[in-house]
Amino acid sequence: MDSKLATSLIIFAMFYLATTTTSTTVKPTSSFIKSSCASVTYPALCEQSLSPFANSIQSSPAQLARTALAVSLKRSQSTQAYLNKLKKLNGLKPRERSAIGDCLEEVSDSLDRVSKSIKELKNCDKVKGQEFIFHMSNVQTWVSSALTDENTCMDGFGGRAMEGRVKSSVRAQITSVAHVTSNALALVNNFAEKH
Residues for the chain: how many in total?
195
Query: Average pLDDT for residues 174-182, to the nearest whole number?
Result: 95
Alpha-carbon torsion 61, 62, 65, 71, what sign? negative
The string of pLDDT tens digits covering residues 99-133 is 999 999 999 999 999 999 999 998 887 788 888 89
Position 143 pLDDT exceeds 50:
yes
Of the listed ranges 25-29, 59-63, 119-123, 160-164, the least confidently predicted one is 25-29
**Mean pLDDT, residues 75-104 taken together:** 94
pLDDT surpassing 90 at residue 177: yes
Is residue 97 within a helix (H) or strand (E), and if so which, with residue range? Answer: helix 94-124
Q: Which residue has the higher pLDDT, 70 or 9?
A: 70
DSSP annotation of 163: -
Statement: residue 23 has pLDDT above 50: no
pLDDT in tens, 54-80: 999 999 999 999 999 999 999 999 999
CATH 1.20.140.40 given to domain 59-194: yes
Task: Look up residue 51 and give its DSSP letter.
Answer: G
pLDDT value at position 40? 97
Confidence check: pLDDT of 27 > 50? no
pLDDT for residue 126:
79
**Spatial distance between the Cα atoms of 94 and 92, rounded to a whole number of angstroms:** 6
d(CA 137, CA 191): 12
Mean pLDDT, the chain, integer: 86
**Mean pLDDT within 90-105:** 93
pTM for the predicted model, two decimal places: 0.82
Domain ranges of the chain: 59-194
Is residue 12 within 8 A of residue 153, CB to CB? The reply is no
